[in-house]
């Protein structure tokens, strides 16, 4: 009971529910891509184009998200977009034609972009308010949501192949998560000045007026953060959407084993993110991300070259381990640059997460899914190359901040 009554723990649980929600909603329909492909009789290129719609929706939503963050605040924006994603999941389960499915996933991209920015703004504000490190663990909950969605998908498909039944069960779980999040989110958006963009800007030492400025061309540091985020999320998105088909079509795994690809990646990410804050303290942010992304690329490359179910699952595990710390570290850095940087980087992350899968679809159509997975490995190596170019002083500033464990008392020096 003490944990529930503690303000930090209560807010942490509410924000964790948002992260779990987004991972679970995404993992639910991503794990059923083979079923959607079969029901709508799609080619790999058509699957890629359908998935590309989510990325297009995220791209088009950038200016909308910036305005909604100011007008609604992160708390209300998170609730509205979450409810929208529940309706979108229901619509996708009954989409009668390919064009309708594209429109539904276009709207999904817009809603995901809104929720992604809002929940990370809430997380950044929570770290600032209580001066406790929690971002990596919240991202672990996101991976846990995908992991849980994969397990639910495997369980439901063992009983019935119907999408409506599966997505109906998922909708109930998602609504429970929305209720949990709304009852404990810490930021009250009474006025635009009190909204979360200001809280995120305060993380970077910005003034409240900065949250109301028009968006301008991002600074060099922000552009580099966005570039790294795109490549990192392209890896994560491609692994979530194409592992099931890879296991079925390339390794010839049984149908009930195909969801294990997503489960392995997300499960390893959950474990790694639980320890990621300690790795940051010990080795530094730059080393953790550069080495981790390279490890993911090497592991997936070996899996593609060796072939077979066991090498594939081992390679997927290396991807989850290596990429686990990438996005949490980038979000922390972006939050310190201000609300505009956070919105830009979060939106770019959504673009990468949702645009990566269709890129792999086009490559698979032109050659094979083996080459598609090889491209995912290349994306991981590009994360390392992008981060090598980050300004060294930015990482030094990051490493000089005081690391505070969640269970420790707050200190005035700052947060990690």
**What residues does each domain of the chain span?**
2-400
Instruction: Tell me the mean pLDDT in the region 140-165.
Output: 84
403 pLDDT band, cuts 50/70/90, is: very low
Sign of torsion over alpha carbons 204, 137, 169, 259:
positive
Nearest CA among 143, 369, 156, 152 for reference residue 237: 143
Q: How buried is 219 (Cβ within 10 angstroms: 0-12 exposed, 13-18 middle, 19+ buried)?
A: middle
pLDDT at position 214: 52
Q: Going by C-beta distance under 8 Å and a sequence separation of 6 or more, which residues neighbour residue 239?
A: 261, 262, 265, 316, 319, 320, 376
Residue 217 has a pLDDT of 58
By mean pLDDT, which of 177-181, 279-283, 326-330, 392-396 is the weakest? Answer: 392-396
Question: Rounded CA gap, 254 and 155, in Å?
Answer: 14
Q: How far apart are CA 86 and CA 379, in angstroms?
A: 31
> Mean pLDDT throughout 248-276?
83
pLDDT tens digits, 192-205: 444 344 344 444 44
pLDDT digits (tens, 9 = 90+) for 218-229: 677 788 888 889
pLDDT mean over 40-49: 82
Instruction: Tell me what the pLDDT averaged over the chain comes to.
Output: 79
| Residue in 390, 411, 410 with CA at minimum distance from that of residue 337 | 390
pLDDT at 413 over 60: no
Q: Where are the alpha helices (DSSP H) in 2-72?
A: 2-5, 7-30, 33-40, 44-60, 62-71
Which regions of 155-241 does DSSP assign to beta strands (E)?
Answer: none
CA distance 226 to 217: 12
CATH 1.20.1250.20 fits 2-400, yes or no: yes
DSSP string, 250-300: TS---GGGTTHHHHHHHHHHHHHHHHHHHHHHHH-HHHHHHHHHHHHHHHH
CA distance 21 to 138: 12
Instruction: Indicate if the pLDDT at residue 7 is higher than 90.
Output: no
What distance in Å separates the CA atoms of residue 405 and residue 408, rounded to the nearest whole number? 5
Question: With bands split at pLDDT 50, 70 and 90, how would you rate the model's confidence at 393?
Answer: low
Which of 216-225, 320-329, 349-358, 390-399 is modeled with the greatest confidence?
320-329
For the ranges 27-31, 301-305, 354-358, the one whose mean pLDDT is highest: 301-305
């Amino acid at each position: 009971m003490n944990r529930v009554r503690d303000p930090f723990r209560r807010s942490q649980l509410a924000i964790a529910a948002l992260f779990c929600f987004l991972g679970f909603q995404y993992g639910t329909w991503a794990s059923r891509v083979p079923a959607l492909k079969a029901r709508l009789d799609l080619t790999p290129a058509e699957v890629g184009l359908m998935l590309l719609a989510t990325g297009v929706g995220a791209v088009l939503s950038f200016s909308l998200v910036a305005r909604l963050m100011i007008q609604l605040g992160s708390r209300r924006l998170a609730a509205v977009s979450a409810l929208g994603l529940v309706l979108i999941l229901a619509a996708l389960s009954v989409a009668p034609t390919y064009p309708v499915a594209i429109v539904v996933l276009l709207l999904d991209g817009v809603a995901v972009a809104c929720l992604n920015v809002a929940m990370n703004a809430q997380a950044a504000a929570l770290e600032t308010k209580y001066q406790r490190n929690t971002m990596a663990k919240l991202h672990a909950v996101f991976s846990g949501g995908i992991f849980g969605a994969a397990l639910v998908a495997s369980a439901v498909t063992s009983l019935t192949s119907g999408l409506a039944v599966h997505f109906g069960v998922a909708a109930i779980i998602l609504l429970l998560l929305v209720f949990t999040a709304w009852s404990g989110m810490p930021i009250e958006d009474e006025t635009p000045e009190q909204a979360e963009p200001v809280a995120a800007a305060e993380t970077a030492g910005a003034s409240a007026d900065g949250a109301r400025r028009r968006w301008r061309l991002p600074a060099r540091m922000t552009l580099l953060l966005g570039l790294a985020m795109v490549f990192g999320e392209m890896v994560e998105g491609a692994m979530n959407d194409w592992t099931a088909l890879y296991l079925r079509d390339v390794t010839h795994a049984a149908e009930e084993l195909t969801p294990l690809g997503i489960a392995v990646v997300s499960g390893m990410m959950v474990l790694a993110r639980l320890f990621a804050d300690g790795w940051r303290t010990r080795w530094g942010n730059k080393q953790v991300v550069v080495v981790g992304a390279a490890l993911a690329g090497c592991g997936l490359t070996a899996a593609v070259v060796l072939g077979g179910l066991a090498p594939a699952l081992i390679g997927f595990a290396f991807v989850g381990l290596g990429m686990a710390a990438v996005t949490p570290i980038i979000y922390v850095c972006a939050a310190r640059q201000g609300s505009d940087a956070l919105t830009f980087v979060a939106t770019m992350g959504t673009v990468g997460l949702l645009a990566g899968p269709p890129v792999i679809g086009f490559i698979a159509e032109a050659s094979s899914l083996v080459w598609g997975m090889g491209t995912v490995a290349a994306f991981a190596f590009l994360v390392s190359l992008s981060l090598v170019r980050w300004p060294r002083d930015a990482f030094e500033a990051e490493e000089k901040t005081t690391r505070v464990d969640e269970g420790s008392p707050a200190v005035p020096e700052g947060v990690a």
